[in-house]
Structure 1
Amino acid sequence: MELMLTTSLLYAGLLTLLYIGLSAAIIRLRWRDRVGLGTGESQDLKVAVRAHGNFSEYVPLALLLLVLMELTGADMWLLHALGGLLFVARICHVIGLRMSIGPSWGRTIGVLGTFIVLLVQAGYMLGYAIGSQL
């Protein structure tokens, strides 16, 4: 039996490209502002590092849960809805953070979207685990 995780692979690939873009932004700003370690006095670099850090804090767990959902046979529409929402939310978060270090529509959409994905995934996992025990 061949294991196919095509939906998870799609979103893992898209999110990896976004992660590389966030990393490249940091590298570019380090060169521009001549900062080898940390963020120095560069506000742009601080924002870029935070956007990258926030991504790396939330996305790995969400991707792992997406893979687990696909392995348990979750409906493809649900997987695409969650993967798509996560991708859009992470883009909005970066845009919002670059617009303002304070509250912004982009950050709000990014945080809410990411939390919705994680909450739905947690609910699915718990429902699947409890349902399997009955």
Structure 2
Amino acid sequence: MSISSSFALPLSAYYLALQARVVYHRLKDGKYIEHESSSNEHDILRAATRAQMNFAENVPLALALAAIVELNGGSRKALTWALSALTVARILHAEAELMIKDYMGWGRAPGFFGTQGVIAGLAGYAAYLVKGYWEL
């Protein structure tokens, strides 16, 4: 499982950076729990928290699917490309979307669709690799 393992470090490091940003803004602003702002202003703590949680909602599933593909003999090259695309998509989603004023930066669509494409692709590839198991 060297491909999945090799992406565990950069993806975990980026998650820790997202988490550190949330803690920094909590301490800086004295807001220790995110709350819904009554105004439409860009709330940096809210954006940082959403970036972290969105990452936590998507990356573990993608890494688990990559590990399943790898354990079933999937292409190392395909996995490297998929996890590279996932890494770029997650960074785009957070840094070029959520952290931008009004939470609507240019990275929203490529970040979202890139992540969904990688997850769907890995799930489909995993199913393809074990298709012989289901043949009766």
**Same fold, TM-score > 0.5, yes or no:** yes
Task: For 1:88 and 1:12, locate their aligned partners in 2 and report how far apart those are by CA, in whole Å.
Answer: 14
Task: Supply the distance in 2 between the matched residues of 1:69 and 1:87 (Cα, whole angstroms).
Answer: 17
Q: Is the CA contact (8 Å cut-off) linking 1:89 and 1:114 kept in structure 2?
A: yes
Query: Distance in 1 between the 2:36 and 2:114 partners?
Result: 31
Matches within 5 A, 1:56-71: 56-71=56-71
Range moving further from structure 2, 75-84 or 36-45: 36-45
Report how far residue 59 of structure 1 moved: 0.6
> How many angstroms does 1:101 deviate by?
3.7
Change (3 A) 1:8 1:19: same
Identity among equivalent positions (%) equals 33
RMSD: 1.6
Aligned to 2:132: 131
Q: SS of the residue aligned with 2:122?
A: helix
Aligned to 2:17: 21
- Contact residue 92 and residue 107 of structure 1 kept, 8 A: yes
Structure-1 residue corresponding to 2:51: 51
Task: Say which SS state the counterpart of residue 99 (structure 2) adopts.
Answer: helix
* Counterpart code for 1:31: L
Q: Distance in 2 between matches of 1:123 and 1:130?
A: 10
> How many equivalent pairs are there?
130
For 1:58 and 1:106, the matched residues in 2 are separated by 16
Contact 2:72 2:130 in 1 (8 A): no
Q: Report Cα offsets for 1:45-75 as digits up to 9, x if no partner.
A: 0000101110000111000001111111111
The residue number in structure 2 matching 1:107 is 108
Aligned to 1:74: 74
8 Å CA contact retained: 2:85, 2:118: yes
Unaligned runs of 5+ in 2: none
Output the CA distance in 1 between the equivalents of 2:131 and 2:58: 25
